[in-house]
Amino acid sequence: MVELTGQKVLVLGLGMTGLSAARFCTERGARVVVADERPDVDARALPPGIEVRSGQAFPDPGDFDLVIPSPGIPHERYASKAKRAWGDIELAYRFLRIPVVAVTGTNGKSTTVRLIEAMLQAAELRARAAGNVGDPALDLVGQPLDVAILEVSSFQLEAVEAFRPKIGLLLNLSPDHLDRHGSVERYLAMKARLFARQEESDHAVLNQRDVRVRELAAGLRATVHAFDGEEPVERGASCDGTCFIWSDGDKHLRVPLPGGQPLREPLRSNALAAWLTACLLGADPVRALGALGGFRALPHRLERVALRDDVEWIDDSKATNPGAAVRALEGMARPTIWIAGGRDKGLPFEELADARLGRVKRVLLVGEAAASMARALGTRATCEQTGTLEAAVARAAELARPGDAILLAPACASFDQFASFEERGERFAQLVADLDTEGSP
């Protein structure tokens, strides 16, 4: 634990994270300045005594004892001058007195964090998820909990120092956020910081099927456990279709999935990783896996929005990079009409062309990236550039036949036509609902 009483603290950015950090430090006796370059920030939720500087350049970080950057503030803007720079994840870790599970990866973090929370709670452990999903990490400090589960982004890992999770979980790695990190190598290095302080008594839970993740395993001090949705593992968790299997050398434990129904990717891998993590924390394997029966996926993550005339409409608007779209496509069991496109994040689309596209009947491309995506896909799939999501939904309805699926998995950001991936997904669901209205007498 660090002493904050009397310390001069600079909080950069007044979003949810910055607000939480400012409150936390003020309650512990720090003198806090909050700086946000936006002129119209709403500071009404801040407690009295905090100085707010908005609509101007950031103060000199060197004038403060501690700088707490919001995740959206790049490392280069404060690190060279700050005496100490800790993100809210680092600060929370220094005050938490319970085991910390930290989950990162390019895709699937939020779903996996919620699965771990549900499985631990089903096993009667007091667990709560926070971090890059839901509540800020600092909100967990002082709560009556047995385990803290944190979703951690590459942005947040830029600002950690002593952070040492009891269990570090890496789901997958594919290029993302290159506009922030500059290169794939830098992005991967940020993700690897999750394990930098771990020791042999800690655990690293890694995706055996991801080549970049497997390469990382060799340099870790923590005890490594693998998860694999298709092949057996020597130490970790795997799946044979209707059972999850925990393995440790010659020891094996098979637990049937609730209802005996197979899971499709990427939910299968996310659930395996969550179950393995829960077991490592001492949860009863059967009770933990039972939580899957009542689990509901987060909005806009492979969410079925309609089943009309035996045509399944699926919203995966959260698939904002090629890796996420590939995982969605590879989990499709039906012949698929794929709606993709949006704003290019500077990521290579070649990964899409390398995906298993045998079930894709047609690709309907929208937004600014439509032409470049069509070039990347080449002859691997039949593409149409429809321009807008509205036009793509209408065209998909024309093309679909009973037994088909229509998947929105954009592989791109939403900001060319929508304010967020949530707005894009909600618009997709509304367009699908409107088809029923238009088709009724």
With 0-12 / 13-18 / 19 or more C-beta atoms within 10 angstroms meaning exposed / middle / buried, residue 4 is: buried
Domains of the chain: 8-85 (3.40.50.720), 90-294 (3.40.1190.10), 303-435 (3.90.190.20)
Please give the distance of CA 310 from its chain centroid, rounded to a whole number.
Answer: 31
- Residue 176 pLDDT more than 70? no
List the alpha helices (DSSP H) in 124-166.
154-157
**Coil vs helix vs strand at 263:** coil
- Residue 355 pLDDT more than 90? no
Tell which residue, 208, 158, 153, has the closest CA to residue 176. 153
Q: How many CB atoms lie within 10 A of CB 225?
A: 26
Q: Is the model more confident about 436 or about 429?
A: 429
Distances from the Cα of 390 to the Cα of 41, 46, 116, 184, 325, angstroms: 34, 41, 36, 34, 20
Q: Which residues are catalytic?
A: 109, 132, 177
End-to-end CA distance of the chain: give it in Å, rounded. Answer: 67
d(CA 171, CA 24): 30
Q: Sorting pLDDT into bands at 50, 70 and 90, what band is 297?
A: confident
- Residue 298 pLDDT more than 80? no
Output the pLDDT for position 440. 39
Output the pLDDT for position 1. 67
Which residue is it, tokens 């607000």? 19
Q: Is the model more confident about 424 or about 352?
A: 424
Q: What percent of the chain has pLDDT over 90?
A: 70
**What does the pLDDT look like over 320-337, one tens digit per residue?**
989 889 888 988 889 999
User: How much is the average pLDDT of 368-385?
Assistant: 93
Q: Which two tokens stand for residue 372?
A: 């470049």
Distances from the Cα of 8 to the Cα of 29, 34, 387, 409, angstroms: 10, 11, 52, 45
251-256 vs 243-248, strand pairing mode: antiparallel
Q: Sorting pLDDT into bands at 50, 70 and 90, what band is 181?
A: low
Around 325, how many Cα atoms within 13 Å sit in the side-chain half-sphere? 32
Q: Which two tokens stand for residue 69?
A: 């950057």
Output the pLDDT for position 177. 61
Q: Is the model more confident about 224 or about 218?
A: 224
DSSP lists the bridge partners of residue 238 as 228, 245
**What does the pLDDT look like over 130-175, one tens digit per residue?**
987 778 999 999 999 999 999 999 889 999 999 999 999 999 887 6
Number of residues written out for the chain: 441
Query: pTM of the prediction?
Result: 0.82
User: How much is the average pLDDT of 263-280?
Assistant: 93
